[in-house]
Amino acid sequence: MELLNWDQRSRLNSNISLTQTELIDFLVHVAMVRPVFIWGAPGIGKSSLVERFAAGVGLPCVSLLGSQLAPEDLIGVPQILEGVSRFCPPRTIARAEPYCLFLDELNACSHEIQKAFYSLIHDRRLGEYELPKGSVVVGAGNRAQDSAIVRPMSSALINRMVHVHLRVSHRDWLAWAQENNLHPAVLEYIHTRPDHLWTQPPKHEDTFSSPRSWHMLSDALREYGPDAGESVVEALAHGTLSPDHATQFKAFVKQKRSRFRLSAILDGEMQWPHEPQDRDLLYFLSQAFRAQLLKELPEHRESASGGKRDLVHRSKAALRSLAAISLEMAQMVVVSDPSGTLPNWYLVEVVRDLPRLAAKKE
């Protein structure tokens, strides 16, 4: 039995991925005729997406968690009938009406369990039990690169399914979040910083941001209601999100409750916060300032006309006043990092008008 690890598989199609909305449509057309396996990082909504798909096609969804399965959970226990042994599948699987069988964390189960899935996935059969006509089989699993518990999958099992990769889309998630009444602070923050919806899970044991963790934070904030003070928001954010995102979310909530607004600062109607106790707020507003520039400034100077040129002028004035309070944070606005790089023509103008920002940070 040949076993393939994630690195071997990812060389073939790691760049081919679908958003949540695209994957729902994919399942409607493909999963009805062939088993589908969904690859994706933890917490990005694979399980809820399959449940939504099943509800959309009118099928009950039965979930099995591969990491917690034993062989008898699939093939059942033997019974003696008329002197002949017979294995009886569990009631959760042995149904008379068609349903969607969701094999979650399929690549986390043992090789013995994986072998038990061969006939279930390919022939829709377990021993003498056959899935009702119209039933659907969908599998899902995390990736080894996400520090998740995974085992190599055999080539025989891989070859029995159609594979697809799920990627996070902040637009799809925000649409879902609004329909499900998530906390307004969470919705507004992700709208402002969509790049914070998900981050690569760390190799060490630490919290990290994902659609699931933002949902958990929303539930906790809803439970607290308006009584969630600054220390509570800080504790909840650091208990669910990546450390940097937690710090910025706390500052975002503080900014919402204060008088400071980035738009007013850019319009010259308000000054940057400069009190020592507002250092976290200044950091958040600086990051939001950078995110707005990355989003709105065009790649080429020729495209910067009208409102864009006005933004350039206002942003340079805001950078000047920010540098007077904290040169480090002003430099942070214009420096390149994994979130992106500001257009070269804009950086040239900034360095020309504000040469202090070109100095290396100590």
Residue boundaries of the structural domains of the chain: 3-167, 171-358
Sheet with 136-141: strands ordered across: 61-65, 100-104, 136-141, 36-39, 162-165
d(CA 331, CA 334): 5
pLDDT for position 153 = 80
Contacts of 24 (CB under 8 A, 6+ apart): 49, 52, 53, 56
> What fold, for 3-167?
Rossmann fold (3.40.50)
What stretches of 241-362 show up as alpha helix (H) in DSSP? 243-257, 262-266, 279-296, 307-325, 327-334, 344-353
pTM equals: 0.74
Four-residue CA torsion sign, 30, 32, 36, 42: positive
Do the Cβ atoms of 249 and 241 come closer than 8 Å? yes
Going residue by residue through the chain, which has 362 residues, state the pLDDT in tens, using 9 for 90 and above: 444 444 444 443 455 799 999 999 999 999 999 999 999 988 999 999 999 999 999 999 999 888 777 766 676 666 777 777 666 777 778 888 999 999 998 888 777 777 777 878 878 877 778 899 999 999 998 877 766 667 778 788 888 899 999 999 999 999 999 999 999 999 999 998 999 999 988 877 789 999 999 999 999 999 999 888 999 999 999 999 999 999 999 999 988 888 888 899 999 899 999 888 888 889 989 998 998 999 899 988 888 777 888 999 999 999 999 999 999 999 999 988 877 899 999 999 998 988 888 765 44
- Radius of gyration for the chain, computed over Cα atoms and rounded to the nearest angstrom: 26
d(CA 241, CA 196): 9
Four-residue CA torsion sign, 277, 278, 279, 284: positive
Q: Beta partners for 345?
A: none
d(CA 48, CA 160): 23
pLDDT for position 10 = 43
